Structure 1
Amino acid sequence: MEASAGCGRICHATETTVGAVKIIAHRGASGHHPEMTRDAFETAFAQHADGIECDIQLSADGVPVCLHDPTVDRTSDGSGPVNRKTLAELRELNFGTHGRPQQILTLAELLDLLRDAGNPAGDPGYRPEIFVETKRLGTFGERRGQLENALQSALVRAGMADGDDSARVHLISFDPGSLARFRRINPDIHRIFLHRDYRGERVLHRLEDAVVSAQSPGYSVTRMRTDPQSVTGEPANTYLFTLNREDDVKWACRHGVHWIATDYPDRARDWAGGATRFSR
């Protein structure tokens, strides 16, 4: 259902804001290839996604790698916690398909791909963004900032920790602690506080917002469409996930949502009427 009159800020969006929508490839073009593989991200760039989203975890030797789960069981032919495997051990696993094996990507390697994608021949105006999601970590040591410091180090090496390219980087997280830690490390990187859908969170996040001081909120499309009273912030400053249906994409366009994450960036662009392309 759509927001009705008197339901909150989302009601004031107009249908003239469609051009503001940016399509973010969720874990790469993960509807077409195994998530967060080189193929998934390169396809996202080939489809001119306005940005890519990835999750990072730390390997046993402290390397940030592109992986959603705390274990490798679901996404590879191996098993066990990622934080108990060195990068060399993770490299031995297949994160692709049987017919097209894929090694795990480090964050540094993904940033290299991002930089190369931003300078293709004949298309100097294409400058995709990156949304890096950090997870709520399980050990005291991890909560002391190891992941956030590793992220900062990768951004520094890629030349994206400050200056013009830092504007292409967004830190997103459901974990207010991670956002607060990174704020202390690099306050210039844009932060997006992701909100879960359970009702208790809707009270808790008001307290957490004061600690995080994130510049933008992030919500599921289900929550934003069915319970707009619980949504704060303007749609033009909101990150919405994960939109894989035509009616959801068109709804987000009509309501002026700025960033929409999808597993199918090519389909989302068609559904959005082609209004998400970078101007040249």
Structure 2
Amino acid sequence: MDTFSPEIAPKIVAHRGNAPGFAENTAAAFENALAMPIHGVECDVRFSRDGVVMVQHDATVDRTSDGTGRLADLTAAQLRSLNVGTTSLPQRMMTLEELLEMVLAAGDRHLYLEIKSPALRNQRLEEEVVRCLTRHALQEDPRIHVISFSHSAMRRIARLAPRLDRWYLRRDRELDHNPGDLLFSRPRGLGLSIEAARRSPRLVDARGLPTYLWTVNDRAGMKFAESLGVDVLATDRPDVALELFFPEAPVLAKENAGEPGKL
């Protein structure tokens, strides 16, 4: 087996709480991931029609649930009536409040919280995200990192919670139109996709800020990330990353014999 130094290996983050056998962004997935000896988990948040911050990646619920429709058109109660898990392991859509409680209970685990919402609603969403964090005394906690593809979101979060960690995610197409990699906000970390990093490895550490690479799901990609000195690696296969980087670490993840989670 290849050997890696734990001192320089990337920090492992379970992307949407994912691991084989669990549906993304669900309580079962996050519970499984938070039981692993990894750095933390990543989630996505959007606004329900009645202004509740929900943990969901897509703008619609069609792919991730047994329902249909735009999340922004449904109330929190309607969203929580859907099954976002599997047939054998049904799950309700989580609120951000519920996930924060899980992360707090996990002790030293970190949360990478991605703002995902139509631009016109972002300001309200970001305000409510900060309120949720403040209710849990997490608005200055180093375990919480807000991540976003929006410089506007980064600036608003900086205004609402100046000491909250902020990481800007660069879209692949943005790099074509912004070859100088100019930043229009002042993030404290930068993200890049594995595909973009393979095309332009120099961008990984171009600004001297902490680096976040997504979504790295195989050993070759993980080795590549380690070779570039990536700080945080987001993956749907935290089990593979643990085996590669920390073969001596105890894997405490729960087994789920049900059908594979939706990807």
TM-score, normalised relative to structure 2: 0.86
Identity of aligned residues (%): 36
- Looking at secondary structure, tell me which structure has more helix per residue: 1
How many pairs does the alignment contain? 245
Residue 158 (str. 1) matches residue 139 (str. 2): no
Which position in structure 2 is the counterpart of 1:58? Answer: 47
How far off is 1:276 after superposition?
8.3
Which position in structure 1 is the counterpart of 2:83? Answer: 94
3-state SS in 2 of match to 1:76: coil
Per-residue displacement from partner, 1:100-154 (whole Å, max 9, x unpaired)? 2100000000000011111xxxxxxxx010000012514x3x14x1010110011
Q: In structure 2, which of residues 95, 98, 109 is the aligned counterpart of residue 128 of structure 1?
A: 109
The code of the aligned residue for 1:215 comes to R
C-alpha change, 1:136 and 1:91, in structure 2 (3 Å) is closer
Unaligned runs of 5+ in 2: 251-263
How far off is 1:177 after superposition?
1.2
C-alpha change, 1:190 and 1:20, in structure 2 (3 Å) is farther
Residue 72 (str. 1) matches residue 61 (str. 2): yes
- Structure 2 distance, partners of 1:42, 1:116, is 10
- Structure 2 distance, partners of 1:52, 1:113, is 11
The code of the aligned residue for 1:96 comes to G
3-state SS in 2 of match to 1:212: coil
Structural mapping, 1:153-192, within 5 Å: 153-162=131-140, 166-192=141-167
The code of the aligned residue for 1:108 comes to E
Q: In structure 2, which of residues 72, 94, 97 is the aligned counterpart of residue 105 of structure 1?
A: 94
- Structure 1 distance, partners of 2:131, 2:20, is 30
- Structure 2 distance, partners of 1:276, 1:241, is 23
Per-residue displacement from partner, 1:174-198 (whole Å, max 9, x unpaired)? 1111111111101111111101112
Which position in structure 1 is the counterpart of 2:259? Answer: none
3-state SS in 2 of match to 1:27: helix
TM-score, normalised relative to structure 1: 0.81
C-alpha change, 1:16 and 1:272, in structure 2 (3 Å) is closer
- Structure 1 distance, partners of 2:83, 2:7, is 40
C-alpha change, 1:257 and 1:132, in structure 2 (3 Å) is same
- Structure 2 distance, partners of 1:48, 1:262, is 14
Q: In structure 1, which of residues 241, 258, 269 is the aligned counterpart of residue 242 of structure 2?
A: 269
Residue 45 (str. 1) matches residue 23 (str. 2): no
Which position in structure 2 is the counterpart of 1:250? Answer: 223
Per-residue displacement from partner, 1:39-69 (whole Å, max 9, x unpaired)? 1101101222211000000011111110001
The code of the aligned residue for 2:223 comes to K
